[in-house]
């Protein structure tokens, strides 16, 4: 049932194809070659099908958008302080695109590139070579991402190899809205996280950790995302909502989160093998046209970015994310949907 079709062309005239995959229950996902982005994810809910993610109907929407909607982010997701890092005694200067820091590998990161897509049965396979020196990062990084839909669960499998040492931290920046419209403030979230990385200026971690106990960041039992989003927490005030890296409990591949929406009767469980998750409540999504007749804005979606911790290349307190020749970067995240 899978299909490939032309989605559009970039401003430079590159053809961008879409890969549509299905599961046995009639749920579907569309992955486009631009940014290896999840463009739609239609899940059958109690009242009919719901497109549970934000996105655009045209390539132009993805090119002009500044919210990383649906995109694969890398080669180093999240922030690198001072847009630089030292590796094996050498300093590397990378793209400064956020107040002196590097966010999501700069404006020309993987999210803004054409990937090569193909279908292998009901699996969409996207590949991209990030060339040596791009955005200042060393090494030719060859990345393959496999998207599959099984029993209403979207599986994202990452693999990468490189020919020079370089930090690597791949993630996906899909915005979810389980009702398909409105805000996500009424979505109820449970998160397996006792701590979060203590943020300093610019959301850069200090290297320390803070307990969620007694704070607006405590989602260890189900809580509406919007319940504490207007609290007087300095971290929340600074960003107008949640934009925080949570330290996920446990190790290995495990369930780390559960979120549901009573309006649609849909829920979603998140499984990953990564140590962290950036939860971003779309605080700066501009008012803009989305898919169909949708108009997006603040809190229209929530991103669950499974990842290594922000600024890991500059933080010896965190796990070393250097990928070296001969090693294989491998990770998996699953978004599994259910009905209430």
Please give the positions annotated as active site.
173, 305
Distances from the Cα of 127 to the Cα of 18, 92, 157, 158, 266, angstroms: 14, 25, 12, 10, 32
Q: What is the dihedral of CA 129, 133, 137, 142, to 10 degrees?
A: 10
> In the structure encoding, which two tokens stand for residue 75, read together?
């080669």
Which own/partner contact pairs does 206-210 have at CB distance under 8 Å and 24+ positions apart?
207/315, 207/317, 207/318, 208/317, 209/247
The H or E element spanning position 238 is helix 234-239
Strand partners, 163: none
Distance CA 151, CA 139 (A): 38
Distance CA 43, CA 266 (A): 9
């Amino acid at each position: 049932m899978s299909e490939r079709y032309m989605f559009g062309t970039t401003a430079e005239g590159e053809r961008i194809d879409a890969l549509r995959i299905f599961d046995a229950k009639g749920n579907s996902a569309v992955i486009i070659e631009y940014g290896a982005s999840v463009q739609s994810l239609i899940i059958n809910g109690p009242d009919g099908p719901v497109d549970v993610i934000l996105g655009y109907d045209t390539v132009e929407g993805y090119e002009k958008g500044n919210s990383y909607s649906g995109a694969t982010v890398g080669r180093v997701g999240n922030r690198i302080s001072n847009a630089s890092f030292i590796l094996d005694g050498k300093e590397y200067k990378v793209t400064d695109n956020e107040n002196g820091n590097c966010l999501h590998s700069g404006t020309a990161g993987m999210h803004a590139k054409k990937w090569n897509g193909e279908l292998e049965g009901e699996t969409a396979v996207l590949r991209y070579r990030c060339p040596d020196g791009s955005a200042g990062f060393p090494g030719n990084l060859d990345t393959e991402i496999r998207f599959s839909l099984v029993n209403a669960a979207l599986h994202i499998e990452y693999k990468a190899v490189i020919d020079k040492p370089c930090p690597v931290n791949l993630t996906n920046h899909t915005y979810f809205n389980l009702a398909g419209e409105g805000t996500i403030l009424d979505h109820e979230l449970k998160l397996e996280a006792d701590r979060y990385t203590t943020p300093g200026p610019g959301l850069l971690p200090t290297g320390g950790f803070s307990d969620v106990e007694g704070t607006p960041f405590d989602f260890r039992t189900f809580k509406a995302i919007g319940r504490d989003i207007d609290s007087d927490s300095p971290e929340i005030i600074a960003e107008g909502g949640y934009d925080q890296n949570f330290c996920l409990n446990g190790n290995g591949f495990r369930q780390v989160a559960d979120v549901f929406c009573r309006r649609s009767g849909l829920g979603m469980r998140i499984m990953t093998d990564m140590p962290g998750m950036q939860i971003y409540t779309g605080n700066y999504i501009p008012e803009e046209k989305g898919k169909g007749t949708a108009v997006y804005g603040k809190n229209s979606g929530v991103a669950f970015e499974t990842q290594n911790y922000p600024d890991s290349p500059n933080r010896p307190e965190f796990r070393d994310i250097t990928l070296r020749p001969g090693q294989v970067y491998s990770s998996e995240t699953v978004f599994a949907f259910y009905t209430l």
